[in-house]
Amino acid sequence: MLNPLQQDKLAIILNDELLISSIEAVFNETINKSKPDIEKTDNNSVLGEKYRSYEIAKQIIKQGFIDLRSYQEDNKVNKTFKKER
């Protein structure tokens, strides 16, 4: 769990969409470079294990960025309505 100071710092970073999308691109590029190699000696079980772990790693990174974005401050201004009598 992040303390309030850490949350504030994350909010500052996350409000810079170009910065966060650049960081996300680096993570995605790294995962794509880590795609498992198919060896001639790999059987179906080994191939399944390799690709399952590769797909799980992609999901973990994706979920991590979803979780990070949850700390993003909402800059939308809430409009208030004046009710006429």
**What's the number of domains the chain is made of?**
1
Residue 57: inside a domain: yes
Q: Is residue 51 part of a domain?
A: yes
Give a yes or no: residue 81 inside a domain.
no
* Residue 85 maps to a domain: no
Q: What is the pLDDT along the chain (85 residues), one digit of tens a residue?
A: 889 999 889 889 999 999 999 999 999 999 999 999 999 999 999 999 999 999 999 999 999 999 998 888 765 444 455 566 5
| Domain region containing 61 | 4-67
Instruction: Name the token pair of 26.
Output: 């680096």
What is the Cα–Cα distance from 53 to 71, expressed in whole angstroms? 28
Fill in the DSSP letter of residue 42: -
SS (H, E, C) 6-19: HHHHHHHHHCCHHH
Residue 14 near residue 71 (C-beta atoms within 8 A): yes
Give the predicted TM-score (pTM) of the model: 0.71
The H-assigned helical ranges of the chain are: 4-14, 17-33, 44-69
